[in-house]
């Protein structure tokens, strides 16, 4: 039993991991609270599931003694509340909640971004379909550079991520990855190598 308890504790604090979404009966979170209680960090209102009614997305946090801050993503739909509990540990002033609108024809997505170090950045993307709050993508850049923009003028925003090529001189050689939205998530479309000015062959591209 002791071994199982230790394992559960370790898993609960593993970085960058979201637990399975659960429906919550948590009451409205106060603007201020004692250490250990959830506090509102950011929020926005949008029709996330395309039902014609707006839902509220909120990023909550609680301080953990002698550690960074623990975050939770929450969506409220009418009288129901959905939580996606997180073991992300980061300074609370650096973690940002944002609405991601890739086109008028697509339902809005939820983004959470924060620097994971002095030279890196992380972006988590989430969707809500009215019944489930789930992770779409978990993206990382060590340049750092994560930009959401329409790179090919097709009317749908893509994601451009720059990562260093650590097998060569990382100050001169980088990979620029383009992710396009398809089948409910962002998938790698192309990888461009800055030093050689060439694209990786399609059979060499990894997600």
Could you give the CA distance from residue 7 to residue 4 in angstroms, rounded to a whole number? 5
Tell whether 9 is covered by a domain: no
Tell whether 10 is covered by a domain: no
34-64: pLDDT as tens digits: 456 888 999 999 999 999 999 999 999 887 7
129 and 155 part of one domain: no
Identify the three-state secondary structure at position 4: helix
136-186: pLDDT as tens digits: 999 999 888 999 999 999 999 999 999 988 777 766 778 999 999 999 999
Question: What pLDDT, on a 0 to 100 scale, did the predictor assign at position 16?
Answer: 39
pTM, full prediction:
0.79
Question: What pLDDT, on a 0 to 100 scale, did the predictor assign at position 50?
Answer: 96
Could you give the CA distance from residue 25 to residue 96 in angstroms, rounded to a whole number? 24
Report the pLDDT averaged over residues 85-99.
77
Could you give the CA distance from residue 54 to residue 99 in angstroms, rounded to a whole number? 13
136 and 189 part of one domain: no
130 and 162 part of one domain: no
Of the chain, the percentage scoring pLDDT greater than 90 comes to: 49
Tell whether 199 is covered by a domain: yes
Domain end, chosen from 103, 125, 141, is at 141
147 and 134 part of one domain: no
Tell whether 8 is covered by a domain: no
Identify the three-state secondary structure at position 11: helix
106-119: pLDDT as tens digits: 999 999 998 777 67
137 and 35 part of one domain: yes
The total of structural domains in the chain comes to 2
133 and 183 part of one domain: no
Residue 32 has pLDDT above 50, yes or no: no
Range of the domain at 135: 16-141
171 and 85 part of one domain: no
Residue 52: partners with Cβ closer than 8 Å, 6 or more residues away? none
Question: What pLDDT, on a 0 to 100 scale, did the predictor assign at position 2?
Answer: 41
Residue 29 has pLDDT above 60, yes or no: no
Q: Are 125 and 100 in contact (CB under 8 A)?
A: yes
Tell whether 2 is covered by a domain: no
Structure tokens at 182: 């398809």
Tell whether 6 is covered by a domain: no
Name the pLDDT band for 87 (thresholds 50, 70, 90).
Answer: low
79 and 177 part of one domain: no
Tell whether 55 is covered by a domain: yes
113 and 205 part of one domain: no
Question: 130: burial class by Cβ within 10 Å (0-12, 13-18, 19+)?
Answer: middle
Question: What pLDDT, on a 0 to 100 scale, did the predictor assign at position 144?
Answer: 84
93 and 159 part of one domain: no
Structure tokens at 35: 């250490």
62 and 152 part of one domain: no
């Amino acid at each position: 039993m002791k071994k199982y308890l230790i394992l559960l504790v370790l898993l609960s604090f593993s970085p960058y991991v979201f637990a399975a979404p659960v429906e919550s009966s948590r009451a409205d979170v106060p603007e201020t609270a004692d250490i250990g209680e959830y506090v509102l960090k950011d929020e926005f209102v949008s029709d996330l599931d395309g039902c014609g009614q707006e839902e509220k997305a909120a990023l909550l946090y609680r301080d953990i003694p002698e550690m960074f801050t623990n975050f939770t993503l929450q969506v409220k739909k009418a009288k129901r509340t959905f939580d996606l509990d997180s073991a992300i540990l980061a300074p609370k002033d650096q973690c940002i909640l944002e609405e991601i609108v890739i086109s008028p024809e697509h339902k809005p997505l939820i983004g959470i971004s924060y620097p994971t170090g002095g030279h890196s950045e992380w972006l988590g993307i989430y969707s809500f379909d009215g019944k489930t709050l789930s992770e779409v993508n978990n993206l990382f850049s060590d340049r750092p550079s994560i930009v959401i923009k329409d790179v090919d003028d097709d009317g749908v925003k893509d994601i451009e991520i720059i990562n260093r090529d650590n097998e060569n001189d990382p100050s001169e050689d980088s990979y620029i990855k383009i992710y396009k939205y398809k089948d409910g998530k962002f998938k790698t479309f192309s990888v461009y190598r800055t030093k050689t000015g060439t694209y990786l062959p399609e059979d060499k591209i990894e997600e």
